């Protein structure tokens, strides 16, 4: 997994790993994927209603999406509520999308959206293993998508066969509205014994012809206009997710002086599987090493991102080579107050202990990267993070980038091994291109050019 360029991102080098020391082995006990619970594709019931908390690919707002689906009718209703402002109400039947408002139905036409199927996977989907996300046990399903080698990910809960989380590398329509967002967490899901969409379908059948020749663009404009609406529907937000608070009262997190982290890093490419990840951080050194471990059949042993003062390195160790490959292409050690420096902003709070906040009340942070990319970071008020996601764009596929880091262990004051921040002898002295690392100087050590 090669390093993603830092340009425009003050915290990109934090978790995008890229190299290995000689025959490295884990210092800490790392999470591992276990055998999948079931090989068959999970299927949703014919009729259901669900609520998902959806994070966009850019720094716009979080959205609470309420979806009601009836496969016997071939229809779904989608109500989107911005946590800052704006709402839209949509109905999709067959190839036609409609806008609902004040009991009326207006035809947009063929937007590319289709009613969600009972099977959200494809023939090429594969379960690569089982491991918990927070406190929720899930199977990890990878789905190859176009353009190759991109993939999307769906995490199914074996206990009920329902999708707990979905991640997409770029916006698409195959599972819209979910696939129009980067990160989707299930808030609620209930099977329905009776359909509730027949009356809406009857009204919309009488809707006149679409007034636009580009229905997809008209729908995008409706969604993009939500943040510019006059108000937020607080009653609907409270109804859909009582634990969610659009306000943020707590300060941004601050890293401890010493820290160890373990987790699983999920890539965006379909020919890679999640990597066990180990991080050591010591601000007094100062140094940080993020190491991902490759599977036994990989040509790589492991990969590191070694951030020192004032220069960072990627050091790749191949199984068939006696010497690691080191490149000075990343910035220095990240500063402990990087969320403030980025600057990250709080997009909302999940109160209490829930499946989405397993460590208690949690802030959802959004941090700018190479525009329009952002990072989504979920931190409990205790300081422990749950997930860190870097959004990507069409064209990022094939670059060996990671999408999501799911944390398992967060160990403040844990000492790093003596050799963790040792620079390999083969690392060149020449620094990285100043222009490439200029945006990183806000959050990382190193002289700003």
Lowest pLDDT segment from 2-11, 101-110, 198-207, 246-255: 2-11
pLDDT attached to residue 449: 39
More confident residue, 186 or 323: 186
pLDDT band at 6 (very low <50, low <70, confident <90, very high): very low
pLDDT attached to residue 321: 81
Sign of CA dihedral 257, 260, 266, 269: positive
Lowest pLDDT segment from 290-294, 332-336, 391-395, 429-433: 429-433
Cβ proximity of 176 and 117 under 8 Å: no
pLDDT attached to residue 430: 67
What digits encode the pLDDT tens for the residues 111-151?
999 999 999 999 999 999 999 999 999 999 999 999 999 99
More confident residue, 323 or 169: 169
Say what percent of the chain tops pLDDT 70. 92
pLDDT band at 19 (very low <50, low <70, confident <90, very high): very low
Kindly provide the residue ranges of all beta strands, DSSP E only, lying in 294-401, ordered along the sequence.
Answer: 300-307, 311-318, 325-331, 345-350, 362-368, 374-380, 385-390
pLDDT band at 226 (very low <50, low <70, confident <90, very high): very high
Cβ proximity of 382 and 362 under 8 Å: no
What CA–CA distances, in Å, run from 190 to 51, 67, 242, 434? 9, 11, 16, 53
Q: Is the pLDDT of residue 22 over 70?
A: no
Residue 42 three-state SS: coil
Q: Note the pTM of the prediction, 2 decimals.
A: 0.92
What's the helix, strand, coil split of the chain in %, to 5? 10, 40, 50
**Does domain 12-30+251-442 sit in CATH 3.40.640.10?**
no
CATH of domain 47-241: 2.50.20.10
Q: In sequence order, what are the beta bridge partners of 106? A: 99
Output the six-digit token pair for 178. 């979910």
pLDDT band at 447 (very low <50, low <70, confident <90, very high): low
What CA–CA distances, in Å, run from 207 to 110, 210, 212, 339? 14, 9, 14, 49
pLDDT attached to residue 432: 58
Cβ proximity of 183 and 356 under 8 Å: no
pLDDT attached to residue 247: 92
Cβ proximity of 404 and 388 under 8 Å: yes
pLDDT attached to residue 21: 39
Residue with tokens 């679409």: 210
Give mean pLDDT, residues 396-417.
Answer: 94
Neighbours of 357 (CB within 10 A): 23
Q: In sequence order, what are the beta bridge partners of 345? A: 366
- Looking at every residue in the chain, the average pLDDT score rounds to 91
Question: So where are the chain's domains?
Answer: 12-30+251-442, 47-241
Q: Is the pLDDT of residue 11 over 90?
A: no
Q: Is the pLDDT of residue 422 over 50?
A: yes
pLDDT attached to residue 227: 95
Q: Is the pLDDT of residue 9 over 50?
A: no
Residues near 269 by Cβ (< 8 Å), separated by ≥ 6?
149, 150, 151, 397, 398, 399, 400, 401
Residue with tokens 């009836």: 70
pLDDT band at 60 (very low <50, low <70, confident <90, very high): very high
pLDDT band at 428 (very low <50, low <70, confident <90, very high): confident
**Nearest-angstrom CA–CA distance, 383 and 14:** 17
Say what percent of the chain tops pLDDT 90. 77
pLDDT attached to residue 431: 65
pLDDT attached to residue 58: 96
């Amino acid at each position: 997994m090669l390093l993603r360029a830092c340009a425009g991102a003050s915290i990109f080098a934090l978790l995008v790993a890229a190299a290995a020391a000689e025959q490295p082995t884990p210092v800490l006990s790392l999470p591992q994927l276990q055998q999948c619970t079931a090989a068959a594709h999970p299927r949703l019931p014919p009729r259901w209603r669900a609520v998902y908390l959806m994070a966009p690919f850019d720094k716009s707002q979080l959205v609470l999406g309420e979806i009601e689906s009836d496969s016997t009718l071939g229809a779904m209703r989608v109500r989107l509520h911005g946590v800052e402002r704006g709402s839209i109400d949509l109905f999709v039947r067959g190839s036609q999308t409609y806008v609902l408002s004040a009991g009326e139905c207006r035809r947009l036409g063929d937007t590319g959206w289709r009613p969600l199927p009972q099977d959200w996977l494809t023939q090429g989907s594969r379960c690569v293993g089982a491991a918990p996300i927070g406190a929720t046990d899930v199977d990890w399903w990878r789905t190859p998508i176009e353009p190759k080698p991109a993939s999307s990910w769906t995490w199914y809960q074996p206990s009920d066969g329902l999708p707990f989380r979905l991640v997409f590398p770029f916006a698409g329509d195959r599972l819209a509205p979910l696939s129009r967002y980067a990160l989707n967490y299930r808030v609620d899901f209930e099977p329905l014994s009776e359909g509730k969409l027949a009356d809406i379908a009857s009204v919309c059948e009488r809707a006149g012809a679409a007034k636009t020749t580009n229905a997809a663009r008209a729908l995008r404009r409706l969604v993009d206009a939500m943040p510019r609406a006059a108000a937020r529907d607080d009653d609907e937000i409270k109804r859909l997710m009582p634990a969610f608070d659009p306000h943020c009262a707590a300060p941004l997190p601050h890293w401890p002086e010493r820290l160890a982290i373990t987790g699983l890093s999920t890539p965006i490419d379909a020919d890679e599987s999640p990597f066990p990840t180990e991080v050591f951080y010591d601000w007094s050194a100062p140094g940080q090493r993020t190491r991902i471990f490759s599977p036994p059949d990989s040509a790589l042993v492991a990969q590191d991102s070694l951030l020192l003062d004032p220069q960072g390195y990627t050091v790749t160790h191949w199984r068939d080579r006696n010497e690691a490959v080191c490149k000075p292409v990343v910035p220095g050690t990240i500063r402990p107050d990087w969320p403030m420096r980025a600057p990250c902003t709080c997009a909302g709070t999940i109160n209490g202990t829930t499946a989405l906040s397993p460590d208690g009340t949690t802030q959802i942070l959004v941090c700018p990267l190479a525009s329009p990319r952002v990072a989504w970071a979920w931190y409990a008020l205790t300081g422990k993070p749950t997930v860190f996601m870097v959004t990507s764009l069409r064209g990022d596929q094939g670059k060996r980038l990671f999408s999501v880091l799911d944390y398992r262990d967060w160990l403040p004051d844990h000492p790093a091994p003596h050799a963790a921040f040792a620079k390999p002898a083969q690392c060149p002295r020449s620094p990285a291109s100043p222009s490439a690392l200029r945006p990183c100087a806000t959050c990382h050590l190193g002289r700003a050019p």
